């Protein structure tokens, strides 16, 4: 069982790379955004709970996010492993993920951060915003605010996983194929 946490700022290529990695390594891709959308769309009990916070403009508490994630893992226990995308985002979430995986006799195998220069990523997102329809991809100030939030919340997580010798960085700039090859080199060592 290989369990990978994929980090990266918005626009770093996590979604693109996750699609390749899940196929190549036969992983179940769990995207926090997709999990939230599923729970909202299907009006699940957890979706209803989370919606209360979202509608107020508040962050959904870790307890709800973690429970949604656990439900997704439980649906896929026969997998070769998981690719966690967008989770964990805080040390508390990382500790909860570690504790939950331990109940299954599993652990996070490694965490991989797609690294890229902010200026390149801003341009990527502004370009993506022309076709994505996402307002947060069309406003440079919103993009930079997302990066600031990422830096503040993710920096401690990097240290958390570095202490466990489970943190790797990959240059996220280049062609999709080049980045995939760099990611594969890291995952092949972990597998």
Q: How much is the average pLDDT of 87-96?
A: 90
Assess whether pLDDT exceeds 80 at residue 79.
yes
Q: How much is the average pLDDT of 29-51?
A: 91
| Residue 37, pLDDT score | 87
Topology of domain 2-190, CATH: Rossmann fold (3.40.50)
Cα 109 versus chain centre, distance = 15
- Whole-number average pLDDT of the chain: 90
Of the chain, the percentage scoring pLDDT greater than 70 comes to 100
List the domain boundaries for the chain.
2-190
d(C-alpha 97, C-alpha 64), whole Å: 13
Q: Residues 8, 13, 16, 20: is their CA dihedral positive or negative?
A: negative
Binding residues for ATP: 11-16, 128, 174
188: number of CA atoms within 13 Å, CB side? 7
Assess whether pLDDT exceeds 80 at residue 191.
no
List, by residue number, the catalytic residues.
14, 89, 128, 134, 146
Burial class (CB within 10 angstroms; exposed 0-12, middle 13-18, buried 19+) of 9:
buried
Question: Do 7 and 157 form a contact (C-beta atoms < 8 A)?
Answer: yes
Dihedral Cα 91, 97, 98, 101, nearest 10 deg: 180
Band the pLDDT of 38: cuts 50, 70, 90: very high
pTM: 0.86
Band the pLDDT of 74: cuts 50, 70, 90: very high
| Residue 29, pLDDT score | 94
| Residue 147, pLDDT score | 84
| Residue 108, pLDDT score | 96
| Residue 49, pLDDT score | 93
Phi and psi angles of residue 154, each rounded to the nearest 5 degrees, phi first: -85, -30
Binding residues for AMP: 32, 37, 58-60, 86-89, 93, 134, 146
Assess whether pLDDT exceeds 90 at residue 10.
no
Assess whether pLDDT exceeds 80 at residue 187.
yes
| Residue 137, pLDDT score | 80
Assess whether pLDDT exceeds 90 at residue 151.
no
d(C-alpha 8, C-alpha 188), whole Å: 20
Binding residues: 11-16, 32, 37, 58-60, 86-89, 93, 128, 134, 146, 174
Give the model confidence (pLDDT) of 107-131 as tens digits.
999 999 999 888 998 898 888 888 8
Residue 91 CA: distances (Å) to CA of 28, 94, 96: 23, 5, 8
Assess whether pLDDT exceeds 90 at residue 156.
no
């Amino acid at each position: 069982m290989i369990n990978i946490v994929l980090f990266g700022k918005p626009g770093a290529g996590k979604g693109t790379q996750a699609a390749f990695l899940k196929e190549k390594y036969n992983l179940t891709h769990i995207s926090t955004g997709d999990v939230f959308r599923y729970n909202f769309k299907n009006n699940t009990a957890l979706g209803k709970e989370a919606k209360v916070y979202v509608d107020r403009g508040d962050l959904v508490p870790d307890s709800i996010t973690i429970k949604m994630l656990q439900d997704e893992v439980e649906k896929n226990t026969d997998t070769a492993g998981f690719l966690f995308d967008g989770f964990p985002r805080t040390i508390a979430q990382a500790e909860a993920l570690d504790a939950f995986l331990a109940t299954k006799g599993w652990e996070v195998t490694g965490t991989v951060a797609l690294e890229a220069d902010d200026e390149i990523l801003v341009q990527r997102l502004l370009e993506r915003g022309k076709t994505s329809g996402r307002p947060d991809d069309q406003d440079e100030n919103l993009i930079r605010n997302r990066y600031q939030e990422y830096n503040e919340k993710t920096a401690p997580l990097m240290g958390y996983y570095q202490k466990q010798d489970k943190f790797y960085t990959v240059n996220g700039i280049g062609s999709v194929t080049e980045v995939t090859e760099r990611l594969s080199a890291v995952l092949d060592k972990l597998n």
